[in-house]
Amino acid sequence: MANLPLTQARPGRLMSIDVLRGLTIAFMIMVNNSHPGAWREMLHSPWNGITATDIVFPTFLFVVGVSIVLSTEVRLSRGDSRRKLAAHTARRAAILFLLGIVVNGFPYFHLQHLRFYGVLQRIAVCYLVVALLYLWDRRVWTKVALVVCLLIGYWVLVRWVPIPGAGVPGRDVPFLDRNQNIVAWFDRQLLPGHLYEDAPLYNARDPEGLLSDLPAIATTMFGLLAGLWLMAERSTRTKTLGLVAGTVACLASGYLWSVWFPLNKKMWTSSYVLVAAGWSLAALALVYWAMEERGWGRKGTGKALVWPWLVFGSNAIVAYMISELLNPAQAMIRFTSAGKPSNPLLYLFLHVFLRISDPGWRAFVYSVFYTFLSFLPVWWLYRKKIFVKV
């Protein structure tokens, strides 16, 4: 395994970006397939506050932003027109959105309660908006201005706009109330019966709702700004230090703002955007320093350490799709075990993983095993040099 040609990454790509994408998608698969009893950092925060798990999705969107810069510049340098790139962007976003619908509905696709929001759908929306904006205008200051407008505008929307039937947040209802907030209210009006937390009446909500796409676009824009920084003609050392400076600035401002606008992944609050961007920049700085400055992944032990993440990152959407479809697909294989209905993964859990007495370790080992199952098909694709482009 360690002898695979890691240096043969696709032209026009920073291998460190593929590795960071791979690390992110692997952790995403792990936390999405953890069992009750998992350690706190392997679970999403119930409401306000964040865990390590809450940083995973924004980091993937951040990497999408970085990749937009790199891929766009490569294709423009090859002579592709902006019109052609815009059409490709729209087509790719549509495919991602439809794949998200497949993930939500598989295998039965009950249209009455089919969820239209989702992880891939949010990626599609953010990718479409940010990529088209970058094609239209590649200046840095306009991107910074847009981020500021999105973050402040979302804070104003959530904090000051009255919720119909409930009142003004912070006066008539608690600020960032779990049920009574403008984001959840809007989704209940737009798609009743089709939300992730589809509770009765005023309790329904969705963590990937439409209004919270606004700050998620800012998350992707932070990645685009990082990509612009990496594309500039500067030394590798200067680029690393710039990423570290961005880390400090985002974390400091995000945690400070959280005093008044709490960190909340399900609402994708503006303070959460800044803190998540800070940790994403920290991860990028570390991986970029190790691989682009120190040469990890190209020789010695670093090559073996980098290999699995490069495999995951080279076909990240395929890996995610496999991980999301594997569980419902195998659940269709039904049999009886000890007089009770079972399926392959349930049987393994009851007869193998349940032997681990500590619930935290049990959940962790199972999630690693599930991630390994999802890894095998993308490993085969990597060995065949097949990189699926959505």
Return per-residue pLDDT of the chain as tens, 390 residues: 333 333 333 434 688 999 999 999 999 999 999 877 889 999 999 999 999 999 999 999 999 999 999 999 999 989 989 999 999 999 999 999 999 999 999 988 888 889 999 999 999 999 999 999 999 998 999 999 999 999 999 999 999 999 998 999 999 999 999 989 999 999 999 998 899 887 655 567 899 999 999 999 999 999 999 999 999 888 999 999 999 999 999 999 999 999 999 999 999 999 999 999 999 999 999 999 998 888 887 766 667 788 899 999 999 999 999 999 999 999 999 998 888 899 999 999 999 999 999 999 999 999 999 999 999 999 999 999 988 877
Q: Which two tokens stand for residue 324?
A: 């999301």
**Per-residue pLDDT at 2:** 32
- 9 to each of 302, 310, 377, how far by Cα in Å? 16, 9, 19
- Please check whether residue 30 is in contact with residue 367, taking contact to mean a CB–CB distance below 8 angstroms: yes
**Per-residue pLDDT at 306:** 86
**Per-residue pLDDT at 13:** 65
Question: Which residues on adjacent β-strands are paired with residue 336?
Answer: 341
Name the phi and psi angles at 209, rounded to 5.
Answer: -65, 170
**Per-residue pLDDT at 202:** 57
Contacts of 300 (CB under 8 A, 6+ apart): none
CB atoms within 10 A of CB 192: 11
**Per-residue pLDDT at 37:** 86
**Degrees to nearest 5, angle at CA 114 with 111 and 117:** 145
**Per-residue pLDDT at 338:** 83
Question: Which residues on adjacent β-strands are paired with residue 337?
Answer: 340
What does 101-161 look like in DSSP terms, one character per residue? Answer: HHHHHTTT--GGG-----HHHHHHHHHHHHHHHHHH---HHHHHHHHHHHHHHHHHHHHHS
Q: Which two tokens stand for residue 104?
A: 């939500």
Name the phi and psi angles at 167, rounded to 5.
Answer: 115, -165
* Burial of 265 from C-beta contacts in 10 A (0-12 / 13-18 / 19+): buried
Contacts of 94 (CB under 8 A, 6+ apart): 124
